[in-house]
Amino acid sequence: MPKLHYALTLAACTTLITGCFSSSSDDNNSEAPSKYKKTVFIQSPSIPGGSNGFTFDAQDQLYLTSIFSRTIYVIDRETGKIKKTFSTESGVEGPDDIVLDADNTMYWTSPFSGEIGKTTQNGETITQFVAPFVNPIAFSNDGRLFTCADAFASGFYELDPNLVATPRLIDPNFKLNGMDFISNNVLYSASPTLGKIFRVGVDQAIETAIVEGVDVPAGVKFNSKGELFGGNAGNGRVYRVNLQTNELETLVFLEIGIDNIEFDSQDRLFVSNSHDGSIIEVLPDNSLREAVPPGFVTPSGIAVKPRSDGGTSVFLADVFALIEFDATTGKELSHARDDLLPGKLQGPSTVAIDGDNFILTSFIFTNVQVWDHTNKEPVAEYEGFAGVVNAIRFQEDIVVAELGADFKAPRLILVNDNKRQVIADASQGLVTPAGLVAKDGHLWISDWSTGKILQVVSDGIPLVTPITAATGLDKPEGLAVDSAGRILIVESGKGQLSRLDLITGKVKVIAKKLGLGREGIPGMLPTFMFNGVAVDEQDVIYVTGEIDNVIYRIKPKKERSSLVSFLKFLDKLSVKSWWTRDGRTELVRNLPDGDQMGQSN
């Protein structure tokens, strides 16, 4: 019996040794690993989609809107725990501000769809179109309902609380944001775009600026004593407004990105931040408490860059910020925020390496910036795009992917200071260009709608007819090239990362179950929050996941050495050691009684 056991063992070992020393291959590339390990590089503690408008119900539950997650969250203000959500399945769409009536019916604004929504606690939801970019919403003391457009539009409206009668346009030129009533007829409001705080007589349609020269006043609210408070998105300042002198008394400075402020029934002051997703309570002594912790808003574009100290940094475009992390420890190294002022960082949704700088695009502001992250300033800006999705450096130019008017005129454009040249458009099969990647004078794009990877430039020359490198992908977005020259592809439709071998044309899935690919708000870019991918010099891959609010790290598994593989195999057979003695191969096997039995051959 022992002889038979060892004979089988030796046969198996011979087979194993042969396999161990044969060259491994994957997609016909012997140097490339065939398997990867997915881990979470950074998990954000913030609520996915960011924090916008909010209010409290009679039980002091916090109702928070989140535009980018398309959700209203009901939150315990003490613990930050999410107790309930109202999202697209409840009829909620891209909510920005919120107010509750006496029956706890929610009314919310959706700037990108231009709608007002009404959602009762029993789940009934109705909506009414008012105007693009409606933003704040408030009830007067006698129960009348008002809203106003802001940012990219204007117009002040009174609404039918039943959302049946046509909204009444009070004034087409008002541009107001967070607002609150002091009486039946008078409200106070901030205008971020105008830098003013207004007192408004709603029946007379008269607005009077009581404070001017505030960088980006985000909103104002009264406490129960009739004191008016506000926040400045541009510098994080929280202040009290002296209504006798119209002067601002600073309480505290928070981070850039204040969105709204609100008081609960106990006059406790809370502040939301659209740029980091937090809700901060300002305590009576002006100390701070995190009701909802800060973190990512919606992780989108990503890039990896070696540092001069020998380390590697991961850069994340988080819509209102560009954040740098150490690739080894995950520690945050730098943070640039969009302060909503001209000449600064403007809402980055993609990021690409450009020598010592970065190329950023913003789907919100539809522009392209070349960003100097050391000095925190743009060194070049390009505007006038329609539906910009992505941009990278390509040879001496910047190549920009845009969807055009009504997202129906897709183009790839070469841009520099002196020219803009279209190198591909709908006539060549483009529908929804998204990801861009270049190598050695070749340029590829992913087409989100058609599921294709197309080569549009070869050896620096635009192709009259693009070459189809891959088909059958599910909403491909971010692209990158690994050290073996293969294209990494984020398939946002399936929440997975795939890899295209350009030689064989074979596509292989290398990571599944990624929390990404949130569907877009109607009327916005179909790609919505761009899902990026980047790879470092060791082929470690980073992918953004806006649904799970994470950055994933996907590392190639090292090929197990032949000796390690062989010894692990022996261990499974309870074999203790194997060696050659006097030219003979001997196996030594552990026996239950602790004795040893050897068998030579």
Between CA 452 and CA 489 the distance in angstroms is 11
Tokens (6 digits) for 219: 């909103």
- Domain check: are 222 and 367 in the same one? no
Domain extent, residue 302, equals: 36-44+297-556
- Domain end point (choices 267, 292, 317): 292
Residue 591's pLDDT band (cuts 50, 70, 90): very low
Residue 488 has pLDDT above 90, yes or no: yes
Better pLDDT: 342 or 401:
401
- Domain end point (choices 228, 263, 292): 292
> Is residue 75, in this structure, part of any structural domain at all?
yes
> Is residue 273, in this structure, part of any structural domain at all?
yes
- Domain end point (choices 268, 292, 316): 292
Mean pLDDT score, 554-569? 64
β-sheet with 237-241: strand ranges across: 217-222, 228-232, 237-241, 248-253
Better pLDDT: 11 or 448:
448
Between CA 430 and CA 448 the distance in angstroms is 10
Residue 270 has pLDDT above 60, yes or no: yes
**Residues forming a β-bridge with 459:** none
Residue 546's pLDDT is 96
Phi/psi for 88 (5° steps) reads -60, -30
pLDDT in tens, 171-226: 999 999 999 999 999 999 999 999 999 999 999 999 999 999 998 999 999 999 99
Phi/psi for 2 (5° steps) reads -60, -40
pLDDT in tens, 343-391: 899 999 999 999 999 999 999 999 999 999 999 999 999 999 999 999 9
Distances (CA, A) of 535 to 67, 171, 315, 466, 553: 30, 52, 12, 25, 10
Between CA 451 and CA 467 the distance in angstroms is 14
Least confident of 15-29, 40-54, 267-281, 318-332: 15-29
CA angle (303, 351, 235) in 5-degree steps: 115
Instruction: Return the closest-CA partner of residue 63 out of 74, 51, 79, 52.
Output: 74
Distances (CA, A) of 119 to 85, 88, 100, 222: 12, 12, 10, 25
Place of tokens 């059958």: 472
Helix-then-strand count for the chain, H and E: 2, 51
Residue 124's pLDDT is 87
Cα–chain-centroid distance for residue 391? 17
Tokens (6 digits) for 88: 């697209």
Q: Please count the structural domains in the chain.
A: 3
User: What HEC string does 90-153 produce?
Assistant: HCCCCCCEEEECCCCCEEEEECCCCEEEEECCCCCEEEEECCCCEEEEEECCCCCEEEEECCCC
CA angle (279, 285, 290) in 5-degree steps: 20
- Domain check: are 581 and 481 in the same one? no
- Domain check: are 460 and 355 in the same one? yes
Residue 578's pLDDT band (cuts 50, 70, 90): very low
> Is residue 450, in this structure, part of any structural domain at all?
yes
For 66, residues 6+ apart whose C-beta sits below 8 A from its C-beta are 47, 48, 49, 50, 51, 52, 72, 73, 95, 277
Residue 570's pLDDT is 52
Mean pLDDT score, 515-541? 94
For 40, residues 6+ apart whose C-beta sits below 8 A from its C-beta are 550, 551, 552, 553
Residue 342's pLDDT is 81
Query: What percent of the chain shows pLDDT beyond 70?
Result: 87
- Domain check: are 151 and 278 in the same one? yes
Average pLDDT, the chain: 88
Please state whether beta strands 461-470 and 452-458 pair in parallel, antiparallel, or not at all (unpaired). Answer: antiparallel
> Is residue 30, in this structure, part of any structural domain at all?
no
Residue 375's pLDDT is 93
What's the helix, strand, coil split of the chain in %, to 5? 5, 50, 45
- Domain check: are 484 and 571 in the same one? no
- Half-sphere exposure (CA, 13 Å, Cβ side) for 479? 31
The model carries a pTM of 0.86
Handedness of CA 564, 568, 569, 574 (dihedral sign): positive
Other C-beta atoms within 10 Å of 517: how many? Answer: 22
Residue 22 has pLDDT above 80, yes or no: no
- Domain check: are 475 and 522 in the same one? yes
- Domain check: are 155 and 101 in the same one? yes
> Is residue 400, in this structure, part of any structural domain at all?
yes
- Domain check: are 332 and 236 in the same one? no
For 72, residues 6+ apart whose C-beta sits below 8 A from its C-beta are 63, 64, 65, 66, 85, 86, 87, 92, 95, 98, 106, 108, 119
- Give, as one character, the DSSP assignment of residue 175: -
- Domain check: are 303 and 156 in the same one? no
Residue 565's pLDDT band (cuts 50, 70, 90): low
Residue 436's pLDDT is 98
Mean pLDDT score, 543-550? 97
